[in-house]
């Protein structure tokens, strides 16, 4: 299929291939993982730049990915395959996209209805604090053009709207965020 589309710009080809994959197997359930890191462990920038006026201590950082077929930054994740649990999908997608291996418990923060697309997709959001660097750690691949940790108080400007909402909820409500949410991604 990609050869047939070789006359098109690569960005359009990637979008068409992604759309075709979704049409063949439309996701009904997806997962996203809120991976929390400590600034000095993740190597995010200059530790001095990870503080804010409100908090003189370095703040936590969060892992975001940039897809090859979409603009903006997102929480890592993807679709749940047939016969796969949400937790298994979250672990698999995280490793595939970022090279990070989930070592600890994935804690379900909430389940949300994604009103985009078909309007019947649900997204499970998981929290992960214990992880290790695996093969391909934060290296680009066919699906992910960039993966990086960002301090929660210095997120990139082009974070997707849904990602921005979930991170804002996390910063305001912590692990009790899902209980107070309306349930929409």
**Residue-range domains of the chain with CATH:** 26-180 (3.90.79.10)
Residues 32-53: b if buried by 16+ CB within 10 A, e if exposed? bbbbbbebeebebeeeeebbee
Q: What tens digit of pLDDT does each residue of 12-35 get?
A: 766 776 666 666 655 577 888 989
Q: Which two tokens stand for residue 175?
A: 């692990």
Look up tokens 């589309």; give the residue.
Answer: 5
pLDDT digits (tens, 9 = 90+) for 84-141: 999 999 999 999 999 999 998 899 988 888 777 666 678 899 999 999 999 999 999 9
Q: Please identify which residue in the block is written with the tokens 């993966």.
A: 147
From the CB of residue 112, how many other CB atoms can be counted at a distance below 10 Å? Answer: 22
- How far is it, in rounded angstroms, from Cα 105 to Cα 155? 25
Written as six digits, the tokens of 174 are 């912590």
The reported pTM is 0.74
Q: How far apart, in whole angstroms, are the C-alpha atoms of residue 129 and residue 5?
A: 41
């Amino acid at each position: 299929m990609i050869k047939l589309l070789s006359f098109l710009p690569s960005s359009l080809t990637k979008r068409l291939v992604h759309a075709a994959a979704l049409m063949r197997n439309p996701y009904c359930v997806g997962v996203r993982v809120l991976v929390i890191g400590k600034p000095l462990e993740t190597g995010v920038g200059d530790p001095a730049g990870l503080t804010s006026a409100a908090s003189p201590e370095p703040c936590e950082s969060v892992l975001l990915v940039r897809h090859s077929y979409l603009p903006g930054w997102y929480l890592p994740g993807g679709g749940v395959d047939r016969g796969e649990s949400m937790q298994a999908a979250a672990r698999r997608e995280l490793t595939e996209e970022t090279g990070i291996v989930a070592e600890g418990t994935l804690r379900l923060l909430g389940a949300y209805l994604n009103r985009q697309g078909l309007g019947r997709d649900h997204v499970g959001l998981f929290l992960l604090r214990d992880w290790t660097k695996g093969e391909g750690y934060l290296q680009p691949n066919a699906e992910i053009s960039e993966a990086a940790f960002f301090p929660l108080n210095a997120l990139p400007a082009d974070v997707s709207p849904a990602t921005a909402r979930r991170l804002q909820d996390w910063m305001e409500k912590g692990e009790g965020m899902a209980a107070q949410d309306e349930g929409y991604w």
